[in-house]
Amino acid sequence: MKTYKALTIAGSDSGGGAGIQADLKTFQELKVFGMSALTAVTAQNTLGVQGVYPLAVDAVGQQIESIGTDLGTDAVKTGMLFSSEIIQAVAEKIRAFGWKNVVVDPVMIAKGGAPLLQQEAIAALKEYLLPLATVVTPNIPEAEALTGLSIQTLEDRKEAAKCLLETGVHYVVIKGGHDDVEDEAIDLLYDGQDFFYFTSKKIETKNTHGTGCTFAAAIAAELAKGNSINAAVQTAKDFIQAAIENQLGIGNGHGPTNHWAYQQKQHVQR
């Protein structure tokens, strides 16, 4: 049997709920071998981000080089890239190795409000990384930052998705967790021709730390296995829904989601 592999290029979350920790947990739960290249180390817990310590650009590039020259990968997921210099280095390596199934989670702001992407890096993300990406997965505030549009309605999200597709990315998923619909979270997928909707019940909880990282990592894992973008987004939606519904109750702030809940649910259903 083939061993499917996925590489996360992201920051470390010392609290374990987001970043590479969340990505690797997600890969493992979806039976994909996970690898990592760290862009920054954060001092972080459920109460917020106490410190961000970016790695040298060469250090980031060398980690990716080490993966590319030996292990290779079936998918790449990017998270917190922090600076325009790191973004350019990551894009250069992805292009050099010809990697496909690139999932870009444009991590900009932590749950507690701390900025995780420098302002000038947004332009670099659009110029260098999105043209190499298979799919980009912004939430509504991130989509607003990337497009300059105000997003209030589903129609606004459609316009933003069309705008993002012009950067060269193949698919756009704009997540609905921040919209004003009280009882539903509707994620929107755009493939350049059609819009697809993925709906789940909205859960009232503050324990949503790492949801964006986990969702994008699940898409990457499923693409690594050769599944279609629609199937990958559906699995990611189911994965994160189970992770939010089955709360761990850890920490005193925005707690992490439950990464083993999806497989636990699958086992019960069998």
pLDDT tens digits for range 165-211: 999 999 999 998 656 666 888 999 999 999 999 999 888 889 999 99
Q: How many CB atoms lie within 10 A of CB 163?
A: 15
Catalytic residue among 211, 214, 235, 257: 211
Cβ atoms 104, 169 nearer than 8 A? yes
- The CA distance from 8 to 24, in Å, is 8
pLDDT at position 71 is 97
Nearest to 34, CA basis, from 23, 45, 19, 49: 23
Cβ atoms 9, 76 nearer than 8 A? yes
3-state DSSP percent of the chain in helix, strand and coil, to 5: 40, 25, 35
Cβ atoms 213, 202 nearer than 8 A? no
Active site residue 163: no
Considering the chain, what percentage of its residues have pLDDT values greater than 70?
94
Q: How many CB atoms lie within 10 A of CB 90?
A: 27
Nearest to 156, CA basis, from 179, 122, 127, 177: 179
Catalytic residue among 77, 126, 175, 225: 175
Catalytic residue among 17, 19, 213, 225: 213
Helices (H), 68-210: 84-97, 121-124, 140-147, 154-165
Distances in Å between the Cα of 203 and the Cα atoms of 64, 173, 181, 182, 206 are 37, 20, 12, 9, 9
Catalytic residue among 16, 17, 210, 255: 210
Mean pLDDT, rounded, for 245-251: 92
Active site residue 211: yes
- The residues near 146 (Cβ < 8 Å, ≥ 6 apart) are 106, 122, 125, 126, 136, 138, 160, 164
What is the Rg, in whole angstroms, of the alpha carbon atoms belonging to the chain? 17
| Residue pointed to by tokens 């999105």 | 130
Active site residue 112: no
pLDDT at position 114 is 62
Catalytic residue among 39, 208, 214, 257: 208
Considering the chain, what percentage of its residues have pLDDT values greater than 90?
80
Catalytic residue among 212, 225, 235, 237: 212
Active site residue 210: yes
pLDDT at position 101 is 98
Active site residue 225: no
**Which pLDDT band, with edges at 50, 70 and 90, does 57 fall under?**
very high
Active site residue 175: yes
Cβ atoms 102, 128 nearer than 8 A? no
Helices 19-29, 211-224: axis angle to 10 degrees equals 40
